[in-house]
Chain A
Amino acid sequence: MANLEINIGKLQLKNPVMTASGTFGYGSEYSDFMDISRIGGIIVKGTTIRARQGNPYPRMAETHSGMLNAVGLQNKGVDYFISHIYPTVKDIDTNIIVNVSGSTIDEYVETAEKLNLLDMIPGIELNISCPNVKEGGMAFGTSCLSAAQVVREVRRAYKKELIVKLSPNVTDISEIALAVEGEGADVVSLINTVLGMAIDSEKRKPVLSTITGGLSGPAVKPIALRMVWQVANAVKIPVIGLGGIMNAADAIEFLLAGASAIQIGTANFIDPTVTIKVMDGINDYLDRHKFKSVTDIIGALGDI
């Protein structure tokens, strides 16, 4: 039994397996299938200052080895989270991280301030990369200037662990990562979904109500892996890797590329117990290769 514990900044994780925002609800959706406290961290659904209805149906299109979604941050708002959801998640023995999104910098800051007051929420993940909202979201994450600006303002308001989730829909993701690191981000997580599109040829119409949507699943894994490797080589802060991880072998590739932890997203939809299988698989791998700790394989590609 290898040691799977890992610290990411001030966050102490039992193991490097986390769940990606928007794919694991608030955890309770999965508690019939597994002991969710075994997970290293749960990033709960994107939360905004006010309730959002999200985009109209259809919001999803299956693709080869993946899916497009255009949910558009449907959530009941941060006040509802604090009054109704926080009491049900605060005693789960894992890191509950809230993903935060907004249309303006003020909205990000206001939401972060409210979450800063919750003792049992050790960190937030700033979503500057959602491709499915008209204002804000990805717009902040696609230029160094705006990414730096929003992180700077949130950093002033938020005292605990600040993770910034990066968009792959940029020319050079390392530049954005460096920009947010420079403004005090503690961790970066990447990648959010890749902007894509699906067309129904019979109807001669786009499948999604929003025309474009975010691609996730194994289809994006090589892109995600490349970007994690690039960012891990560019910044000094820890990197959380995600994008199409379906099993332990995928997760180990991200750790080898330089991620200190990983998130599992779309795979939860196919196997609700996949997180447990990935953590067991990482342990088996470490034992088989005679590593004592998961920290031994982070960025361990040797000289290349």
Chain B
Amino acid sequence: MLDLILKENKVLSNQYNLLILTSAGKMPDILPGQFAEVRVDGSPSTFLRRPISIHYVDYELNELWLLIQVKGDGTRHLAAMKPGESLNLLFPLGNSYTEPSNLDANVLLVGGGCGIAPLLYLGSHLKNKGFQVSFLLGARTKDDLIELCEYQRFGNVYTTTEDGSFGECGFVTQHSVLNDAPFDHYYTCGPTSMMKAVARQAVKTKARCEVSLENTMACGIGACLCCVTDTIEGHVCVCTEGPVFNITKLKWQI
């Protein structure tokens, strides 16, 4: 549990903010796919911590990035934070995405909506390890397609928008790259229907696929058993056994 200081609050669109946090001490080691439980102070209707993906970590600048999509009172409070204010985080929590065993593996990181958040850090991690990375990012409109230049630092970026205002028109799972080039490894985070469609593509092409779930949770450390998902081993906590699952472990109807 650490109090971090807000260094910068960047408004990215009318629904996304980027919180850049820093710490007096050194940031702990964080794996791609892990998350933080963020305490929201000063919002009477926000009782529990908010589980938020680690968006990016810059160890040189000692920065932790959180991508906030304003959805309710809790995230509205976070988006209204001012530089210099502190934020209490329980982190890093959960497991992580796993690296492909083979450096030649063709990997695609597929994100929709706020689900793009963990993929930036994952992309940077994979690139540092020598993997060729491609991103496929989807949003409703051009305005919600945020931070593309950040993603471009680590690989090719393919995009879709539902209204066709940028990139290919439609859902990410309709993008031509999915049909043109076979990938060996899919990493995905976003709406369940999108992740299931990616999982279907992976099953069809016998590729590996890891998904990140965002079940509602209370404690974040495996004590309350609220965030469970059904797996071949029964109900397991998304906060400790996940949030990242290989689709072969989940009982999804694909």
Contacts and interface: CB of A to CB of B under 8 A. Distances in A.
A54 B47 contact: no
Interface stretch (B159-167, B173-181, B226-234): B226-234
Interface string A46-62: 00000001101111111
A270 B234 contact: no
A71 to B, nearest CB: 5
A24 B48 contact: no
Contact of B222 (A29, A58, A60, A71): A29
A268 B221 CA distance: 10
A60 B220 CA distance: 13
A69 interface: yes
A127 B251 CA distance: 32
A270 B49 contact: yes
A30 B225 contact: no
Contact of A57 (B48, B215, B221, B224): B215
A25 B240 CA distance: 13
A65 interface: yes
Interface of B: 1, 39, 44-49, 90, 215-230, 234-235
* Interface of A, helix, strand, loop or mixed by DSSP: loop
Contacts of B47: 62-67, 217, 270
A299 interface: no
Interface in A267-286: 268-273
Q: Is the interface on chain A under 10, 10 to 19, 20 to 34, or 35 or more residues? A: 20 to 34
Contacts of A272: 1, 90, 219, 221
A10 B39 CA distance: 39
Interface in A79-125: none
Given A23-B223, A58-B216, 18 more contacts: A23-B224, A33-B1, A53-B234, A54-B225, A59-B228, A60-B217, A62-B48, A64-B44, A64-B47, A65-B44, A65-B47, A69-B224, A71-B226, A266-B218, A268-B219, A268-B223, A269-B49, A272-B1
Chain B CB count within 10 A is highest, among A30, A45, A58, A59, for A59
Contacts of B230: 56-57
B235 A273 contact: no
Contacts, number: 86
A74 interface: yes
A21 to B, nearest CB: 11
Nearest to B48: A62
Nearest to B49: A270
Given A67-B47, A270-B48, A60 B223 contact: no
A56 B223 CA distance: 17
Contacts of B217: 60
A30 B240 CA distance: 13
B200 to A, nearest CB: 22
A227 B48 CA distance: 26
Pick the most buried of A22, A69, A266, A269: most chain B CB atoms within 10 A of its CB. A269
Contact of A59 (B46, B219, B223, B225): B225
A24 B218 contact: no
Contacts of A268: 219, 223
B contact face: mostly helix, strand, loop, or mixed: loop
Contact of B48 (A23, A29, A59, A269): A269
Contact of B225 (A33, A58, A71): A71
Nearest to B240: A29
B48 to A, nearest CB: 5
Nearest to B213: A57
A269 B229 contact: no
Contacts of B228: 54, 57, 59, 74
A24 to B, nearest CB: 6
B43 to A, nearest CB: 11
B218 A273 contact: no
A62 B218 CA distance: 8
19 contacts: A22-B225, A23-B224, A29-B222, A33-B1, A57-B227, A57-B229, A58-B215, A59-B228, A60-B217, A60-B226, A61-B216, A64-B44, A64-B45, A64-B47, A66-B47, A74-B228, A269-B224, A272-B1, A272-B221
Contact of A53 (B220, B222, B223, B235): B235
Contacts of B90: 272
B79 to A, nearest CB: 18
A60 B227 contact: yes
B196 to A, nearest CB: 16
Contacts of A63: 47
Contacts of B220: 269
A59 B221 contact: no
A106 B1 CA distance: 43
B44 A74 contact: no
A74 B224 contact: no
Contacts of B218: 60, 67, 69, 266, 269
Smallest CB-CB A-B distances: 3 pairs: A60-B226, A25-B223, A269-B219
A53 B234 CA distance: 7
